[in-house]
Structure 1
Amino acid sequence: MVQPDKRLLWHPRHDNKFVVGGNSQITLYEWAAEYPEIRHVTSQHDLHFMKCLAWSPDPAFEDLMAVGLSTGKVDLIRLEAGKQAQKNNVLSNGPTVTLPVRNTRSCNALAFNNADPNYLAVGLDKVRGDSSLVIWDISPSVPSLTIPLANPGDSSVLNILSPRQPRPEPRIPRLETQARIDPRVLQHHAPTEVVSSLAFLPSSTHLLLAGISHRWLRLFDLRAPNIAAANAASKVHGIATDPFDDHRVACFGDGVITVWDSRKLTQPLLTFSERDALADGAKIRPGSIYANIEFSSTRRGCLATLEKDAAYVRFWDILESRIQAIEGSVTGGGSSDGEAKSSRESSRATRRSWAPTLPWPSSQTQHSPKERDLTSSVELSNQPSLVLADTRRSECL
């Protein structure tokens, strides 16, 4: 698995702050578009054994980070403790809450839940007799993360102990066996397997995607932990969710990007690699692999990829395409000119795409040949395929 030396995370709710984490340090930056400039805000040092990190989307916390360690423990820290405490020009590490692990092993991945930020998923290396995926409810730790105010009477600063919004439903149930371990632990999954990457679906409190043993993409429904999870055979070294589509996800492994619909993991929607960007001047580097991928939060269908040791970021435009020509020819509804035009448009769309995967439907119900053709055409028109429409790259970093 690719472990980047440093990782950049944008603020989950704002587009003007980001952190860079790596080695034993996390640095917070603020981007001022009006100047423009990037300002250094604060840093956390001496974060020994840090392997991964995640930024909480909780609106009650602007600076809450989860830091996964090589020992398996997870530390919850506040980045701007001095600012939150109204102590100007004072650096403070603030409170730290530790989520322990029963058996020492590396923490590979962390994921906060966007719909309910109290849920934190932790992915670990495998160890005999223990699970590698742990679901935590950190709400009991909220009081311990509170930063006392230097001026308690100043009402201009919101206190973390102010009334919180009701938690969304459905809630993730706690397995009875977990209560004896730690009351904050809700569930354990993936025994004797490696969990290398994690991502909650954007608007769901209970649907969790995990990269298992670098060869499976697994979807857990945490409402029903006793039901077998959905599996897709795929090289998974990292997962990205699409903020514009709750069910679209992408993963990467061995230099290949695969796009999926989480509702149907039987077949990928699209598969591509750097070879599909040769027209954009891409050069195939022997042994090159991807280090990270991410969907744009401002532009629909835009996926950014970063190769290991690359000096640029590549952007891929992914579009939906419906095969209207097939529908028109089967139903017979339309003139020959319309059919020819639709056929030409479909042909051009196919030529523009580099690696489309067409999800041809099949019906299990017995129908006449004409009914089968009509049903298939309707299903096809309702299930768009994905095509690569364009690619470009940033300037060298």
Structure 2
Amino acid sequence: MSSVKLEVQWSSIHPNKFITWGTEICLYEVTQIKDSVRPSCIKISDSTVAHLLATNTNHHYVKCIDIYTQPEPDILLAVGQANGKVVLTTFGPTAFDSLGLTGKELAPRHARQCNTVAWNPVDPNLIICGLDKHRTDSSVLLWDVLKSPTGSHHHSNMQAESVRPIAEAGVSETAHSLAWFLNEPRCLVVGINNKHLKIIDFRDCVKVVNSTPTKAVYSLSVDPHNNYHLVSHIENQILIWDTRYFEKPILTLPQSRQVTKVLWCPSRHNLLGSLQKDSGSLHLHDVQHCGLGGGEETEPGALERTVAPPWSSPTSFSWHPTHANRLLAISQQGLTDYTVFERITINWSTKSYLAWNHASKSFKYIYSTDNIYKSLNDISLQTKSRAMRDYGLLAELSQNGELAENETLKNLWQWLYLSRSLVEDGTICSPDNKHPGVRTVLKLDGQPTSTNGFIKSELVLRLWADIGSNHSAKIYRSPDRDKALQLCGWRFDKETNAPYNNAFLERLEREGAYPRAAAISVFNLGLRQAIEILNRGADKMSLATNLNIVAMALSGFSEDRNSMWRELCLKSRSQLTDPYLRATFAFLTADNDSYENVLNENGMAVEDRVAFALMFLSDSKLHEYFKKLTQKLTDDGNLAGILITGASSDGIQLLNRYLEITGDVQSCSLIAIRALSPKLLQDNQVQVWIASYRTLLDAWKMWNQRAHFDIAMRTSTNEKPPQQVYISCNFCGKSISAYMQGLSRARGPFARLGSTSNKLKMSSCPSCRKPLPRCAICLMHMGTASGLQTGGTTPNRGEEDSKLTEFSSWFTWCQTCRHGGHANHITHWFREHSECPVTSCTCRCFSLDASCKIGVGVV
């Protein structure tokens, strides 16, 4: 672009043309890049370019421009100038020349600046202009451009002298901005004197039909989709008006900076675009009318957002008249053709439908079976799949781990099984917590010091017997440490005092974890055993050469701190890719019992690092290490930290952090009801998990899974579920069964109601004394007590005697016709009939029963 263009405007009748103006007026045409054949063009987006068609340099001091709204092949401009004249101009010879419109000047009586000009959208011959103040002249002038008494071929000066306004308004006032009403050809709104908005009607005689006091008189615009709504601005405020309630704005939008331009989007309902001074973004305001039944009774709101296309400090913009959400922006750097992305509302159904509105024309959705949905890796799909397989509810805790896709979850369920086994067989004494953590076993929970909380450990010097030397390692032992090691899975053979249980190592070898098995052997001072494990792994694993080399390196172990073996191992250890091999050589080359490189090896399993610390750290260092490790695992939401915290309040915090990261409320809820004590289950956070998971199962209509979950939860708390279903009176709405529940505790003749052979028979509601419904078969009032247990007032009573009434006397009724009776009577009736027993009723109650449709008899 050769010069700075400060303003831009799309043509309302030419969808591919627009004008820019500053020191000159330019006409452009927009085409697709693939269709462009002209070498001189300006790229305004990734897919479009603008071609300069013509330039008009005949007019100086241009203040405002509007494009003629009549659908003609050529473009006619009304140019408002600093001297007050409105000049009609084109970009060369056009059809408007024969009409005498090209070059026509509409001049006021007294020269002053023209602030705004607008063609009438209904009658294209009318044009209005707004001028600065003159003490004896009007500022709002209405012209008819085809009205020319002296002919159409006179000189332009002669036209200016002969053509006069057909109507005037605003004597001794300043018109800052104005806008036509789209459905009223002679009505407009104008901002006057920084004080008022006035609605002027030119139809009969010039008349101000409505006005409101305000300083927001700039950028007046009428909503193209609602003729009652206006927008204007002042400084850093945007105001939206309703002409039916013109006393005050219906919505005020405060902005952070001074507003320079506001425009309604013509292709989108209730969308405003605005520019702010020295701002590199376009601000969008989506006005939301939330009233009932049409929506104008309550004050609207607005959703605001900003878009930052590749422009820098735009000076103006213009919405495309027909293309949805498309606009042109102009800045000192050039032009940008930009489409504002629609604000998409996404809805996620309980059955995993993900739906959204597409281009404001249709709805699109994806389902859980779609490939794109699977790529989302949504936790809800895993949750639903697990729930269908009774995840977390299987009798054996370890079986639940087999249903989890996450390796950490599998290990946690295995650990819960291990810890419960150790408690139940008496290895670990923990009457209140079936899943104690390492800190609990060491009596570290809640202790302010490092050694006062548990039995002082014994320092043992153990020889490296299988390397044929007197070299020894410092190992810390205590009964509590031995129990904690078992929680980590490191079991010692108490009878032979063997350094390690070979069965565990054999299992690791079967799983292909040769480096881990070798590392654990070395940590237990079984260097020769580790070499043998690596040699066996070299024969079976693809990385045989590496394991052979590692085994060879281990075989050259030397306890001499100055040996070449130790020096080379220190240099080469970081090149090993397996964390257990790195930890092995870090242990063998450690100085002064400093094992940080082993304890901080994140690639090792947490249980192995904890077990290593239990063997080689002193009491004070052990406590400090557990404190730091617990905090790190909790911050990371790593469920392996439950090994240290156990089923405690700290364990709840770790689970909650895991939930925040993964969204796996299912695992948190199920682990809580299977592992936490009844007291910890009452924690507010735990109750939120449980309520959320129950709500999720209800939303998926997984009633069986919800019922099994509730049963498991009640089993863990040892509480009887509260009564949830009652029989209530049809008149007063009070519960009849709740009344009967308290009869066993009543005095007088009802005190031993449950133990008497004569059951209480009521014929009316105990609260309002209204008669109860009659049984449709025996015609007796249904006065029974719904089978509630009394709580056992007599020790020798059986299960049947502990109920107030048998099932045969319970209330039952049809959900369609509301007729019914005693359960036993209704059952017998529908064995031979399908219609309602009430004479005047033709309802086929039995055929409506869902159990009938699946072949199950009525109970």
* Global fold match (TM > 0.5): yes
Q: State the match for 2:102 in structure 1.
A: 95
Q: State the match for 2:171 in structure 1.
A: 191
Q: Give the whole-Å Cα distance in 2 for the aligned partners of 1:122 and 1:83.
A: 24
Q: Give the whole-Å Cα distance in 2 for the aligned partners of 1:33 and 1:265.
A: 45
Q: Give the whole-Å Cα distance in 2 for the aligned partners of 1:61 and 1:242.
A: 27
For 1:49, give the aligned amino acid: Y
Q: State the match for 1:357 in structure 2.
A: none
Q: State the match for 1:9 in structure 2.
A: 9
Q: State the match for 1:241 in structure 2.
A: 222
Q: State the match for 1:270 in structure 2.
A: 251
User: Which ranges of structure 2 fall in alignment gaps of 5 or more residues?
Assistant: 35-47, 154-160, 312-859
SS in 2 for 1:245: coil
Deviations 1:226-251 (A, max 9, x none): 53331112221211221111221100
* Aligned CA distance change for structure 1 residues 226 and 301 (closer, same or farther; 3 Å): closer
Deviations 1:143-178 (A, max 9, x none): 849xxxxxxxxxxxxxxxxxxxxxxxxxxxxxxxxx
For 1:135, give the aligned amino acid: L
Kept after mapping to 2: 8 A contact 1:290/1:306: yes
Q: Give the whole-Å Cα distance in 1 for the aligned partners of 2:72 and 2:260.
A: 32
Kept after mapping to 2: 8 A contact 1:201/1:209: yes
Q: State the match for 1:289 in structure 2.
A: 258
For 1:124, give the aligned amino acid: L
Q: State the match for 1:353 in structure 2.
A: none
Kept after mapping to 2: 8 A contact 1:97/1:144: no
- Alignment size in residue pairs: 284
Match of 1:301 among 251, 261, 270: 270
Deviations 1:301-350 (A, max 9, x none): 110001133322111111211158xxxxxxxxxxxxxxxxxxxxxxxxxx
Shift in Å, 1:96 = 0.6
SS in 1 for 2:147: helix
Q: State the match for 2:111 in structure 1.
A: 104
* Aligned CA distance change for structure 1 residues 212 and 61 (closer, same or farther; 3 Å): farther
Q: State the match for 2:602 in structure 1.
A: none
Q: State the match for 2:80 in structure 1.
A: 68
Q: Give the whole-Å Cα distance in 2 for the aligned partners of 1:383 and 1:103.
A: 46
- Could you state the TM-score of these two structures normalised by the residue count of structure 1? 0.65
Q: State the match for 2:50 in structure 1.
A: 38
Q: State the match for 2:39 in structure 1.
A: none
SS in 2 for 1:263: helix
Q: Give the whole-Å Cα distance in 1 for the aligned partners of 2:15 and 2:73.
A: 16
For 1:241, give the aligned amino acid: V
Match of 2:135 among 128, 139, 148: 128
Shift in Å, 1:84 = 5.9
For 1:267, give the aligned amino acid: K
**2:192 paired with 1:212:** yes
Kept after mapping to 2: 8 A contact 1:132/1:188: yes
For 1:220-369, what aligned pairs fall within 5 Å after superposition? Answer: 220-234=200-214, 235-274=216-255, 284=256, 288-323=257-292
Kept after mapping to 1: 8 A contact 2:192/2:217: yes
* Aligned CA distance change for structure 1 residues 96 and 270 (closer, same or farther; 3 Å): same
* Aligned CA distance change for structure 1 residues 196 and 304 (closer, same or farther; 3 Å): same
- Structure with higher strand content: 1
Q: Give the whole-Å Cα distance in 1 for the aligned partners of 2:208 and 2:281.
A: 40
**2:300 paired with 1:389:** no
SS in 2 for 1:193: coil
Q: Give the whole-Å Cα distance in 2 for the aligned partners of 1:221 and 1:83.
A: 34
Deviations 1:50-72 (A, max 9, x none): 11111110124631100111111
For 1:115-154, what aligned pairs fall within 5 Å after superposition? Answer: 115-140=122-147, 144=152
Q: State the match for 1:56 in structure 2.
A: 68
Shift in Å, 1:18 = 1.3
Kept after mapping to 2: 8 A contact 1:312/1:396: no
Q: Give the whole-Å Cα distance in 1 for the aligned partners of 2:296 and 2:280.
A: 40
For 2:213, give the aligned amino acid: A
- Could you state the TM-score of these two structures normalised by the residue count of structure 2? 0.31
Q: Give the whole-Å Cα distance in 2 for the aligned partners of 1:318 and 1:119.
A: 32
Q: Give the whole-Å Cα distance in 2 for the aligned partners of 1:138 and 1:263.
A: 32
For 2:249, give the aligned amino acid: P
* Aligned CA distance change for structure 1 residues 104 and 388 (closer, same or farther; 3 Å): same
Q: Give the whole-Å Cα distance in 1 for the aligned partners of 2:281 and 2:295.
A: 37
Q: Mean alpha-carbon deviation: is it higher for 33-42 or for 110-119? A: 33-42
Shift in Å, 1:183 = 5.0
Q: Give the whole-Å Cα distance in 2 for the aligned partners of 1:252 and 1:5.
A: 23
SS in 2 for 1:385: coil
The higher relative CO (CA closer than 8 Å, separation ≥ 6) is in: 1
SS in 2 for 1:389: strand
- Structure with higher helix content: 2
For 1:74, give the aligned amino acid: V
Q: State the match for 1:91 in structure 2.
A: none
SS in 1 for 2:287: strand
Q: Give the whole-Å Cα distance in 2 for the aligned partners of 1:144 and 1:263.
A: 43
* Aligned CA distance change for structure 1 residues 266 and 239 (closer, same or farther; 3 Å): same
SS in 2 for 1:8: strand
Q: Give the whole-Å Cα distance in 2 for the aligned partners of 1:246 and 1:308.
A: 29
Q: Give the whole-Å Cα distance in 2 for the aligned partners of 1:222 and 1:185.
A: 12
Q: State the match for 1:157 in structure 2.
A: none
* Aligned CA distance change for structure 1 residues 299 and 50 (closer, same or farther; 3 Å): same
Q: Which has the larger radius of gyration?
A: 2
For 2:258, give the aligned amino acid: I
Q: State the match for 1:329 in structure 2.
A: none
Shift in Å, 1:297 = 1.3
SS in 2 for 1:311: coil
Name segments (4+ residues, structure 1) moved above 6 Å.
Answer: none
Shift in Å, 1:141 = 5.7
Shift in Å, 1:268 = 1.2
Q: State the match for 1:18 in structure 2.
A: 18
Q: Mean alpha-carbon deviation: is it higher for 51-60 or for 107-116? A: 51-60
Kept after mapping to 2: 8 A contact 1:97/1:141: no
Identity between Structure 1 and Structure 2 (%): 25
Q: Give the whole-Å Cα distance in 2 for the aligned partners of 1:27 and 1:381.
A: 43
* Aligned CA distance change for structure 1 residues 382 and 317 (closer, same or farther; 3 Å): closer
Shift in Å, 1:188 = 0.9
For 1:12, give the aligned amino acid: S
Shift in Å, 1:122 = 0.9
Q: Give the whole-Å Cα distance in 1 for the aligned partners of 2:206 and 2:55.
A: 42
Q: Give the whole-Å Cα distance in 1 for the aligned partners of 2:163 and 2:103.
A: 18
For 1:112, give the aligned amino acid: W
For 1:271, give the aligned amino acid: T
Shift in Å, 1:127 = 1.0
